[in-house]
Structure 1
Amino acid sequence: MAERRLRSAASVAGTVAAVYLSARLVTTLFFWAAASLSGPTSRFGADATIPSLAMGWDAQWYWVIADRGYPSELPVNDTGQVTENPWAFMPLFPVLARTLGAVLGGYPAGAVVLALGAGYAASVVLFVLLRGRLGETASLWAVVLFANGPLAALFQMGYAESLLLVWLFLALWALQRRRFGWIYPLVVLMGFTRPGVLAFALLLGLYGIHRWMRRRVDPLPTPHIVHIIALGALATIVGFAWQVIAGVATGDPSAYLETELAWRRSWVGSEEQFVPFAGFVQASSLWFGIWGLPPMLGPIALAVLVVGAAALLVRAPQVRRLGPEIRLWGASYLVYLLAVFFPQSSVFRLLLPLTPVAAAVAVPPSRWWRIGMLVLCLGGQWLWIHEMLALGDTFYRIP
């Protein structure tokens, strides 16, 4: 039995590796083309290279953290408002990348190798997470679409997204199998890799309600109740811990919030204050104005989009096949984004944690449907790389 399981695990690891490595070759080709197209108006200049693209944009902030740490005094502009600084980024990725870079010859190598390795690990766990619900063929296609997706360039950049996805997919897998003890360390790892663990706290609350409502057909023993409550409390504490740490380190209790607002104020003005759920409403009007449409229609379109997403999570049969844990995660994460984020071009990157929900597109058994989805993914990937890296010359080309 143990030998059979070992062979099965090796088979999964090998199959996913073949998919992942072929996808990375395609992305490398896209990177080469983007570097060739990069011009003097691009952020990367006319002499862009694949390594310079891999360490662009937010990868620079992680590099600063690895090299210098976090500032004890917040930078401010002429009016005394906090400006962009490293406190917006969590420490786990740069610490691990710096450690790996000490072996590989420098931080950039460590960061890219860490992102690459984490992307592969996330692909393996995604397959295992989905296999019990979708079967092997659909799950493998979900991995193919994930590895070749529109945001797949992040697996070859010094970004923390792929590392977060490893922890998230493992936590969802453990929740599916009710191995609650595994989730405690994963919550902490998630919380210090990327913002968003508060969405997992909401998931645990919704999951507890779901289990309670179904307790007659799916018994809810006391140890499960204790774990769900304890994990929800831990996720909430971890979700606010970085704010406390930043406040203590800088002497400013609002250090983290003001740092996050520094990015938003460049869009909506220097007097902007954080109000939950206001960001998406403001941005919908702003973007409609930029597109030459009546700004008042923006919130209406946003409401239609939210209702449509809710309907998909509740009614779509392909999504329902994913199981309650993944569906509740999708709802929780979307509520989290609506509550805290101001959407601009980086919103696509922030949708990556919805990958398990997006796996529903791999469910239809038609081979041509799946090939069509792959073509769309590759087209979206090149579009993202071209806009954000080859061009990267205006406010709506920021990954």
Structure 2
Amino acid sequence: MGKVKGNLVVGQSGGPTVVINSSLSGVIQEAMAQSAVGEIYGMYRGIRGLLKEEFIDLRRQPAGVVEGLRHTPGAALGTVRYKLSEADYDRILDVLKKHNIRYLHYIGGNDSSDTSWQLARLAASSGYELHVVAVPKTVDNDLVHTDHCPGYPSAARFVAMATRDTGRDTEAMGPESPVKILEVMGRNTGWLTAAAALARQEEGDPPHLVYVPERPVSVEQLLQDVERCYREREYVVIAMSEGAQESAGKTLGEAFAPKEVDTFGHRMKGGVSDFVATLLSGKLGLKVRLDKPNYLQRSLMVCASAVDLEEAFRVGKEAVKQAVGGCAEGIVTLVRAPGPGYHCSLEVVSLAEVANKEKMLPVEFMNEAGNYPTAAFLDYARPLVGALAPPYVRLSRATA
């Protein structure tokens, strides 16, 4: 059977990253190279743009703009958090048919994978030939069946660089302002927070404590950890996940956490560092400063990982190749080759295997105490993030 000829539509969804546009560039460039693809449409603000028939003509964008997307942060098409319902189905089918859209690519994370899966099932049950191949993206790194997600390495690089530099700032302040808490993104997983450990250049460097949602910490243990670290070096740098837990299902500092939920019903995170700062000040009498980089973690191109930029482009291209090649539905995944060198090949797995599932930080990636990443995690993450050059130095304390 020959390749179906038709038009292609691509959308971006969820939180932007510094490499989501690199994936978009990959989709556009590969679509232009495929004779089976006619028009190339961009959904303006994700699936809502499809519903409203608000499309951007991507085929007629200047070549320099398409290539320039590879190094432009944000989401060039505009993004959205919109939960599809069955009430949207008839409208979606009408739009797909009206524009003869046969190839659909949605760039996003967990919730976007669910949207792609719904679209694939809708088309199949309606007898409409539509090839839906999703493109992975999330700084949380929590998609299953992939070694890592585009967007994560760059955000992890930001966290590592921020930890390294704020660590030197805190070391300089010493007993005057001895505790620094860096609050890191991560709804339910600690992949991004764990990346703070990449900042450590030599033994004793920050961060000194790292807390992730997968390893709950009691208030008593937290106080003991901080007091011990302070006695050892007179300052403490803590990388704290916004989703850190006191016990399974109970957010650390529950009273400080926001009460809002997003469109998909996920409770908003935050407040944990405020709680811990109040706790440490009250119980240990230590002055605490907070760093909350929030959305800077996912948006600074200056912190982009070279591996991330290239892989994001590759997965975008691969999605189109797979769709035009006959893949009815799926999502592109990265498969790491074994051995000392770093290389990832690309595969496709069914959206049914990925949608609404979450990959947690493995047990072996945190130490027994649950307060610091292991060498196994560092070996996993370091090739993705790259070297944090140049190395920093310290003055000898030899007196004149």
Q: TM tier, shorter chain?
A: under 0.3
TM-score (normalised: structure 2) = 0.22
More helix per residue: 1 or 2? 1
More strand per residue: 1 or 2? 2
Return the index of the structure with the highest Cα Rg: 2
TM-score (normalised: structure 1) = 0.22
